[in-house]
DNA sequence: CAAAACTGTTTCATAATGTGGGACAAACAT
DNA sequence: ATGTTTGTCCCACATTATGAAACAGTTTTG
């Protein structure tokens, strides 16, 4: 599989330019990417031509240009989330060995928008694109817990808490304190609630207004998950969630 | 000035990929950019390698990848705004002939973060990087008008309305109804308030929470600006402001 | 105020690099 | 089963990118 060098070089240059918000010059870039001045000059001129970088006025320093922003502005938010989360999900799955996933609230349901498969012989099925109720899923309970009280109560009032498995919460008065605990702990877990034998963990991703926008989830069969290293799994997941929140906030203001 | 073709091609491909949120295949891309399948395949493979595009799971369709997002997530919000606004400012200046600018609120002041020069022999000076008070500048009055009441009143209460020019508002009781009018009209204008002989116009840019985040401004000497085509100038500016608001909302959710 | 050290751009010979025709395999539709 | 699409691979060809060095502008230094 052959690749195109100049493109790889261009992106290496973009990385460097992006890392210098106040602008970088040709020479500085050429040193960091270990390429010759003239090459960097040509590549930067090309990138400027396509709008990927722009020159600071009254100087010849480069910064990231408008075309990259307009490129991603065409991309729907879900997809941006998926892209943002992708490396973290892969890392989580690599570290923990179980499937990880990404869910967003979708009205009164949860929508699974991504899932990274582990290598286990026994694993959960593929849920990408599927919707499930808020009260019986890891991510759903997390969303309920972090929604504003009014939205949470409206759900508990209007939606019957249908039983999906042996441990599903079907009584609002039992679910409420559980949600409070989830909110206090900052993560959510399930065991035999959505399906018997299925265990899961979910941590939140917040936007710049502290609204919950998505959940990172980890699932596995309950005989194996979370296992002995429960604390380690939890801290890995929480850490990933925090990092994604930070990233999202940076990109959204 | 020579440019690197493969990079230009890569970005043409990225444009197409970005325009298809649900994924595009090699053949479809090759038709739209009018390049051969094998070339597109190679370029896309390279772009995938650097993370600029990613394959949809269980298919060979491409969508925009995580690296572009992480690139721009390193870019501070001001700079993103500048990049977002840049094409609009240039267009406005080209259409109207006067300097256009971009301002953000910065505490109790206005910060000018960008300015596009026109070709006039008599023109305003360069304000990039400068700060000025809220009550005597076009953008500042716009911010005051669209701030929450509490923040507006605190400013009017705590800050003396210093006179900068003959028509500066120095009495809060006269400024208040003026701000109300600005809010109702959706734009702000100024004449001999910041400096004698200086006229200006400002339109708002809002974020997804309807908070005002920036102002697009147009300045000129009052003997020439806004001139006969006042209505046309205004509608051009308002239109640009609306488009930038839309873009910002798209990229922020 | 000139010399020195830096900047970024340009030129140009060289060959390395990217190109596209076509063959190939794999998936899908008929 | 055949036919039609998909994406990838191979390879000869020359177009295309490359880097050394020279150049032209700026800023720093003495």
The full length of chain A comes to: 253
For chain B, percent of residues with pLDDT exceeding 90: 47
Give the per-residue pLDDT at B1: 59
Give the per-residue pLDDT at B140: 96
Exposure class string for A55-83: b at 16+ Cβ within 10 A, else e: eeeeeebbbbbbbbbbbbbbbebbbbbbb
Name every chain B residue with its beta carbon within 8 A of the beta carbon of A14. Answer: 71
Exposure class string for B205-227: b at 16+ Cβ within 10 A, else e: bbbbeeebbbbbbbbbeeeebbe
Which residues in chain A land under pLDDT 50? Answer: 253
- Kindly report the bases of strand C lying within 7 A of a protein C-beta atom: 6-11, 17-23
pLDDT tens-digit profile, chain B (253 residues):
578 888 998 999 999 898 888 888 888 899 888 888 889 999 998 998 888 988 876 677 898 887 887 787 777 778 778 878 888 999 999 999 899 999 999 888 999 988 988 878 778 888 887 889 999 999 999 999 999 998 999 999 988 999 999 999 999 999 999 999 999 999 999 999 999 999 999 999 998 778 899 999 999 998 888 877 888 999 999 999 999 998 887 765 4
- CB distance B200 to B218 below 8 Å: yes
Does the distance separating the beta carbons of A252 and B3 come in below 8 Å? no
pLDDT digits (tens, 9 = 90+) for B192-221: 999 999 999 999 999 877 889 999 999 999
Domain over A5-72 is classified CATH 1.10.10.10 = yes
- CB distance A141 to A134 below 8 Å: yes
Give the per-residue pLDDT at B237: 96
Calpha distance B193→B178 (Å, rounded)? 13
Q: Name the CATH code of domain B5-73 (choices 3.40.30.10, 1.10.600.10, 1.10.10.10, 3.20.20.10).
A: 1.10.10.10
Q: What are phi and psi of B59, to 5 degrees?
A: -160, 170
For chain B, percent of residues with pLDDT exceeding 70: 97
Helix (H) or strand (E) holding B145: helix B138-146
Does the distance separating the beta carbons of B43 and A247 come in below 8 Å? no
Q: Where do the structural domains in chain B lie, given as residue ranges?
A: 5-73, 77-252
Q: Which CATH architecture has domain A77-252?
A: 2-Layer Sandwich (3.30)
Helix (H) or strand (E) holding B201: strand B198-206
Name every chain B residue with its beta carbon within 8 A of the beta carbon of A7. Answer: 6-7, 10, 43, 46-47, 50
**B190-to-A117, B136, B245 alpha-carbon distances in Å:** 60, 8, 23
Q: Report the DSSP beta bridge partners of residue B55.
A: B62
């Amino acid at each position: 599989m052959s690749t195109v060098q100049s493109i790889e070089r261009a992106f290496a240059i973009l990385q460097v330019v992006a890392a210098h918000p106040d602008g970088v010059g040709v020479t500085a870039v050429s040193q960091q990417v270990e390429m010759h001045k003239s090459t960097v000059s040509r590549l930067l001129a090309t990138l400027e031509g396509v709008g990927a970088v722009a020159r600071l006025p009254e100087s010849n320093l480069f910064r990231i240009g408008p075309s990259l922003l307009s490129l991603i502005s065409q991309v729907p938010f879900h997809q941006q989330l998926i892209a943002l989360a992708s490396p973290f999900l892969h890392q989580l799955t690599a570290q923990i060995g179980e499937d990880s996933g990404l869910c967003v609230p979708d009205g009164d349901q949860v929508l699974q928008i991504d899932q990274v498969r582990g290598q286990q012989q026994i694993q959960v099925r593929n849920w990408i694109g599927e919707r499930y109720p808020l009260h019986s899923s890891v991510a759903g309970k997390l969303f309920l817990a972090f929604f504003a009280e009014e939205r949470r109560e409206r759900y508990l009032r209007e939606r019957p808490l249908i039983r999906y498995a042996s441990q599903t919460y079907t009584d609002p008065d039992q679910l409420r304190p559980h949600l409070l605990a989830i909110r206090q702990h900052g993560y959510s877990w399930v065991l035999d609630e959505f399906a018997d034998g299925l265990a899961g963990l979910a941590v939140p991703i917040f936007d710049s207004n502290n609204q919950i926008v998505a959940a990172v989830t980890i699932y596995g069969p309950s005989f194996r998950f979370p296992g002995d290293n429960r604390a380690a799994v939890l801290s890995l997941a929480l850490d990933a969630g925090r990092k994604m929140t930070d990233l999202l906030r940076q990109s959204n203001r």
